[in-house]
Structure 1
Amino acid sequence: MKTFVVLSCLVALAWCAPAPADSGVRELPALRHEEVHDEFGQYALRYITAENTVVSERGRLVPSSNGGYVLEIEGRYQFVGDDGKMYVTAYKGGPGGFHVDGQHLPQPVPVPPVAL
């Protein structure tokens, strides 16, 4: 469980890190942004950018093996690559680990040694 929490934090940190000025990363504001939270930490979010990148994610509490609850995340994002193709990635993280799927990803998706 600790590995999952650490991995989730690292992914969030990488997403939030500012991109270098010469990286070629485009920064466009969200055209549509929806976000809902409850008092238990559960949430749902969705946003769409001007380039038609769509991100959606939800976190919900599920029973854990020790009788408590753990936050399970599930989401997907899609974008049009520089080659004009649509790329869709779905992911899920919870008590069973972190799983990612996308037709553009190698199968099975390799797990970095730091996550093991």
Structure 2
Amino acid sequence: MKLFIVAVCLIAAAMAAPSSPDETAARRALPALQHEEIHDEYGQYALRYVTAEGTVVSERGRLIPTPDGKYVLVTEGETSFIGDDGKTYVTKYSAGLDGTRVEAAHLPFNVQAK
């Protein structure tokens, strides 16, 4: 789980690199273009939002039974953003029974931890 948090922080830091400080600040001040969020009484959820600067985040958390009869929340998601070079960068991640995984073509490595 720590690796998952570190990976999300790295993604956030990469998305924060401004091309023009004034332009980026103006776009970030705008409300999200789309924002959907669904929760149930068990803690499962799904969310998706799109920002004015082109960032798209979607994530879901669902309960999966473990072999000992308990439940664990499995998280899966995807984040995409447009870089300063005009390319779209996509990062997919999951965390659950099989450990943590982060996949992204723009990273020098893909992460799998158990």
Number of residues of Structure 1 aligned to a counterpart in Structure 2:
101
Distance change in 2, residues 1:12/1:90 (3 Å) = closer
Alpha carbon RMSD of aligned pairs, Å?
A: 2.8
Distance change in 2, residues 1:87/1:13 (3 Å) = closer
TM-score normalized with structure 2 length: 0.73
Counting helix residues as a fraction of each chain, which structure ranks higher? Answer: 2
Higher relative contact order, chain-length normalized (CA < 8 Å, sep 6+): 2
> Alignment partner of 2:67: what SS?
coil
Which of 93, 96, 113 is the equivalent residue of 2:95?
A: 93
Q: Which residue of 2 aligns with 1:57?
A: 59
Q: Which residue of 2 aligns with 1:102?
A: 104
In the TM superposition, what is the alpha-carbon distance from 1:109 to its structure 2 partner? 3.2
* Structure 2 stretches lacking a partner, 5+ long: none
Residues 71-102 of structure 1: per-residue CA shift (max 9 Å, x gap): 00000010000111100000000011110001
In the TM superposition, what is the alpha-carbon distance from 1:65 to its structure 2 partner? 3.0
What is the letter of the counterpart of residue 79 of structure 1? Answer: F
Q: Which residue of 1 aligns with 2:41?
A: 39
Do structure 1's residue 75 and structure 2's residue 94 form an aligned pair? no
Separation in structure 2 between the aligned mates of residue 93 and residue 72 of structure 1, nearest angstrom: 6
What is the letter of the counterpart of residue 73 of structure 2? Answer: L
Residues 6-53 of structure 1: per-residue CA shift (max 9 Å, x gap): 5556777896xxx9xxxx574343111000000000000000000121
Where has structure 1 moved over 2 Å in runs of 4 or more?
6-15, 24-29, 107-111
Distance change in 2, residues 1:41/1:10 (3 Å) = farther
Separation in structure 1 between the aligned mates of residue 112 and residue 68 of structure 2, nearest angstrom: 29
